[in-house]
Structure 1
């Protein structure tokens, strides 16, 4: 089923598209005070003494009287797409009111008309506090259909002590002392933007020529044995063991890795790095749309956003949460306010950009070329 869905949606076949008028159904929020929220594992704060308790979510339920069924059922974008796609394609409810998807999957769902436009008038905190860097992604102008849950940066992690030098540019990865000791991310959507930025490309408006030029460079590096391998999140193990000295990496992973290995550093290259988000979406025919919008807006209250950021350690999409953490009497929490991987400083922010997404027309060609390089 997943393969069939990918074939249909990847090619933009018209029957898969749902018109705006067919996306909404009767909203039962007033009479039925509950909602279903599907998220990724380990992506919300939990109580240190009772892992079944989620303090911010519990507080929302007490405040509003809305009961939230929270499921950690999203482990992979494509896998979850295959789970909910048949219902959405056939104009049926998924049984979920809120889901969290990565940028490139958000782009697919928005393009297909499978998620609803939100009522920003009912979300004043989102309107006020959403980070300006995240307000205008190419796939969803004005963020009408999506709201970032958490954000992150795809940059470079490296072992400063073992490498014996700094990494400041993407091109520093290709120097001889890193031959066979560097890894890149295997996923096309996760890897391409930062690599193109290393060639000086504006990733908000990159072209096919930019992609092919980048791919040619990586292909040559693979042939020379410079790139050790392409990875998922398992690059963490390679960096920690010292088998790899530098890796294309996610900022959130490196915060955790540095806690155990202070020699690991994360850098946003001078040419820039990709800022991405995993965003909240309301699927078509969700039965509790207004309650879902209310929950989204709740997480944009700076104090709530600060609680979440202190636990998950990704880039917080609510800059005002920084002041909340800075004022904490707990030193560890206060220190988080100064961590640029949670609240990027001005210098770093100038080098971050959201890439334009890969269109359905481009995806088949580009995926084939990239997978051939990676060996998939």
Structure 2
């Protein structure tokens, strides 16, 4: 009888362990082309965890799907700046267990503790960057460009590209006028709309998907560009130059987060900690050309990334710049003026 009881106990213990252990799978919902395949393969090789990688093309699309599913179906999402704020307030994100992240200390304090997640309880920075001003040397001397207001110069007429991202585009207008990119004042938002409306005759296109191609092919003369796109474009076309306007610019950070309904939270923490390793963060920067929040990785970047002001901006470059944060109900005001801008003749 004792032997039988011991056998039953052992079977129960074994069953409990088997049930509690997570399956070797991780469901990642991320931007397309944002984690190198070599990195995913290496994670699987080192951990045995298979990565199922699904993509989205906008924060809005990701947010809508996670909200519809109430945080189920995915183990990792990568929202930008103020979308972290929206998702945590909606109860869509699980808290990060910092004790499981051995590489967390590698992160740059400049990127941590932002208003969208003050204690980084729900998010871990992955990549960050800015929306700056790029121009073509065939059109103007970059040394004479120092302000967002320079987009009104006659040389740019008909050849300006603006972002099709509402907050980015209103952000540069607000900065040009001396306001915060996170203004909640309707008067200031209206003033930004009027600034953009005045610029619109010079605008050729609003775009977020093919910005670098437009600059490389010289279809546009100047305008907004994400710093990673700028790095690629400048390497393809040496006539291009990236400028940090004196008024400052919008900053963004894409963060790793775990949906509240994730079924593989332990695997998610392993993946986050893996991406925080300096050697892995280095590979991600050198593949996609955005800035890394990983100070240890910054020290081992190849020379072309370490010396580029697009991927490795200085504190002086970012003077007066701000991370784009949530604006609450004022978002309705932005959307009203955005629609007016896009439909204006």
Matched, 1:100 2:78: yes
Per the alignment, residue 3 of structure 2 pairs with none
What is the alpha-carbon root mean square deviation over aligned residues?
2.2
Task: Report deviation, 1:42.
Answer: 1.2
**Structure 1: how far apart are the matches of 2:299 and 2:205?**
41
Report matched runs for 1:248-267 at 5 Å.
Answer: 248-267=224-243
| Conserved 8 A contact 1:337-1:343 | yes
**Structure 2: how far apart are the matches of 1:375 and 1:133?**
38
Correspondence for 1:354 among 323, 336, 345: 323
| Conserved 8 A contact 2:133-2:225 | yes
- TM-score for the superposition, normalised by structure 1: 0.80
Correspondence for 2:92 among 89, 114, 135: 114
The count of corresponding residues between Structure 1 and Structure 2 is: 325
Report matched runs for 1:1-376 at 5 Å.
Answer: 30-45=21-36, 54-65=37-48, 67-88=49-70, 94-126=72-104, 128-165=105-142, 166-203=144-181, 207-222=185-200, 225-325=201-301, 333-359=302-328, 361-375=329-343
**Structure 2: how far apart are the matches of 1:242 and 1:219?**
24
CA offset digits 1:28-80 (Å, max 9, x no partner): 773433321122211122xxxxxxxx322333233333x13231321222223
**SS in structure 1 opposite 2:134?**
strand
| Conserved 8 A contact 2:128-2:290 | yes
373 and 29 in structure 1: CA distance in 2 versus 1, 3 angstrom threshold: farther
**SS in structure 1 opposite 2:56?**
coil
345 and 164 in structure 1: CA distance in 2 versus 1, 3 angstrom threshold: closer
**Structure 2: how far apart are the matches of 1:334 and 1:236?**
22
**SS in structure 1 opposite 2:174?**
helix
| Conserved 8 A contact 2:27-2:51 | yes
CA offset digits 1:135-170 (Å, max 9, x no partner): 122221122111222112101111023224532111
Moved over 6 A (4+): none
63 and 236 in structure 1: CA distance in 2 versus 1, 3 angstrom threshold: closer
**Structure 2: how far apart are the matches of 1:312 and 1:242?**
22
Where does structure 1 lack aligned partners over 5 or more consecutive residues? 1-27, 46-53, 326-332
| Conserved 8 A contact 1:205-1:355 | no
**SS in structure 2 opposite 1:183?**
strand
Where does structure 2 lack aligned partners over 5 or more consecutive residues? 1-18
- TM-score for the superposition, normalised by structure 2: 0.86
